[in-house]
């Protein structure tokens, strides 16, 4: 009998924002696996740390820092091979995923490599999208409105067109793309309806009006939420 592969969403940062189900998996799986930068700590591992019992085997999937090599086929091949070995030996393996495994998550690359051979269970997690709206104390989307999740690297014209057509939006992965995003929001007269949230639910969480933010100093783990309508009724 082979082990089961678990994709476990560990939530956005606050260790208490993990589900009871994910917590249970972490108490029982003898092997953990998670992505990490070439040097230094894994964010998913840090988030889950208070829930990880002593003595677990840990498979660290080191990812290259060079964005041209990302996502890195070789790193996932190697990680999947190590995980497969544990699964074949009958051990369950829990892959720690920041936020949710299937919402802009790298778990899909491991899932894709392992799902034909092994039983897989995917445990959802609180995505940063939901955490940011709660942190900013602003409804993300309501009633029959359309919500668009827009990665900031897209071209300014594309962003402008998509923002103009949607009722609500989350602009994610800001980082160095923030100046362009701020310009587009200004053009569309949406600055006053935009909320800025960085590092939601982490100790360094920042919730601000856009006018208080220097667009040249925005981290990757930041997003802007826009909703055109007021709450109503």
Which residues bind to a second copy, rule: CB under 8 A?
7, 9, 11-12, 14-21, 23-24, 71, 73, 76, 100-105, 108-109, 111-112, 115, 120, 122-127, 130-131, 133-134, 137-151, 153-154, 162, 165-166, 173, 231, 233
Instruction: Name which of 155 and 214 has its Cβ closer to a second copy.
Output: 155
Q: How far is the CB of 87 from a second copy (least distance, A)?
A: 16
Q: How far is the CB of 91 from a second copy (least distance, A)?
A: 21
Instruction: Name which of 82 and 167 has its Cβ closer to a second copy.
Output: 167
Instruction: Name which of 89 and 164 has its Cβ closer to a second copy.
Output: 164
Q: Residue 135 in contact with residue 21, Cβ under 8 Å?
A: no
Instruction: Name which of 76 and 182 has its Cβ closer to a second copy.
Output: 76
> Which single residue is written with the structure tokens 């476990």?
8
Q: How far is the CB of 178 from a second copy (least distance, A)?
A: 15
Exposed e or buried b for every residue in 106-136, given b needs 16+ CB within 10 A? bbbbbbebbeeebebebbbbbbbbbbbbebb
- Of 56, 110, 106, give the one whose Cα is nearest residue 83: 110
- Quote the tokens at residue 69: 């090599």
Q: In what order do the strands lie in the sheet with 93-97?
A: 57-63, 31-37, 93-97, 5-9, 120-123
Angstrom distance (rounded) from CA 233 to CA 140: 16
Instruction: Name which of 66 and 214 has its Cβ closer to a second copy.
Output: 66
For residue 37, give the 3-state DSSP assignment.
strand
Q: How far is the CB of 165 from a second copy (least distance, A)?
A: 8
Q: How far is the CB of 168 from a second copy (least distance, A)?
A: 9
Angstrom distance (rounded) from CA 141 to CA 143: 7
């Amino acid at each position: 009998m082979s082990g089961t592969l678990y994709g476990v969403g560990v939530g956005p940062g606050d260790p208490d924002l993990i589900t009871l189900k994910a917590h249970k998996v972490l108490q029982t799986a003898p092997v953990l696996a998670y992505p990490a930068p070439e040097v230094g700590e894994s964010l998913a591992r840090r988030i889950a740390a208070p829930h990880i019992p002593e003595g677990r085997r840990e498979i660290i999937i080191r990812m290259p820092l060079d964005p041209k090599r990302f996502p890195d086929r070789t790193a996932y091949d190697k990680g999947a091979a190590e995980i497969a070995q544990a699964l074949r030996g009958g051990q369950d393996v829990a892959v720690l995923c920041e936020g949710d495994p299937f919402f802009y998550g790298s778990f899909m690359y491991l899932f894709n490599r392992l799902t034909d051979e092994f039983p897989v269970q995917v445990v959802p997690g609180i995505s940063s999208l939901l955490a940011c709206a709660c942190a900013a104390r602003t409804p993300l989307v309501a009633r029959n409105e359309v919500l668009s999740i827009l990665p900031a690297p897209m071209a300014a014209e594309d962003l402008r067109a998509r923002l103009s057509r949607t009722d609500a939006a989350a602009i994610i992965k800001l980082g160095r793309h923030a100046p362009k995003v701020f310009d587009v929001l200004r053009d569309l007269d949406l600055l006053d309806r935009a909320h800025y949230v960085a590092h939601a639910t982490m100790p360094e969480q920042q919730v601000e009006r856009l006018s208080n933010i220097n667009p040249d100093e925005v981290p990757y783990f930041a997003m802007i939420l826009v909703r055109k309508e007021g709450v109503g009724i």
